[in-house]
Structure 1
Amino acid sequence: MNNIEHDSFLDAVGLYCPEPVMLLHVEMRKIKANQVLKVEATDPSTTRDINKFCQFLGHDLILQTEEGGHFFYWIKKKKK
């Protein structure tokens, strides 16, 4: 497992679309610019939805991995 440092963590395990992205939006508002949020999810649709979320809002999806049916994302919040 990749251990990228992160400032905050979002546990979206067991949640299904659209809940993970809705919670992601809330968590991104809580952290400061250039901080990293790690997300763990089990919904395969997050592989598409989180990527689109980052593209649309300008956040940097640093890394996206999958291990044993769990999807992990490290997202760096954009500068203001």
Structure 2
Amino acid sequence: MTASSLPDAEHQLDTRGLYCPEPVMMLHNQIRDMSPGEVVHVLASDPATERDIPKFCNFLKQSLLASETTEQEFHYWIKKS
């Protein structure tokens, strides 16, 4: 995905430097505070987020719009249902 095709986000959640389960716990709190249709861009450094964030989205019925990995950094765009 190119930078111009990545979704716009109303919120950004920086979880870099944190490890499982903290990124998902912080994402859960962020989603709770958002309005339906809003998008959060999550930045993470924990490789476990490649497994945990898609499972979180599936389990809680949120939309994972895009994901991208760049040099040990993981980016996710999640839309609140």
Using structure 1 for the length normalisation, give the TM-score. Answer: 0.94
The yes-or-no answer on 1:54 pairing with 2:57 is yes
**Identity among equivalent pairs (%):** 45
- The one-letter code matched in structure 1 to 2:69 is E
- The one-letter code matched in structure 2 to 1:73 is Y
Which ranges in structure 1 are unaligned for 5 or more consecutive residues?
none
Which ranges in structure 2 are unaligned for 5 or more consecutive residues?
none
Structure 1's consecutive aligned runs of 4 or more residues displaced over 3 angstroms after TM superposition are none
The yes-or-no answer on 1:43 pairing with 2:74 is no
Root mean square deviation of aligned Cα: 0.9
Aligned residues: 78
- The one-letter code matched in structure 2 to 1:21 is V
Name the residue aligned to 1:19. Answer: 22
- The one-letter code matched in structure 1 to 2:71 is G
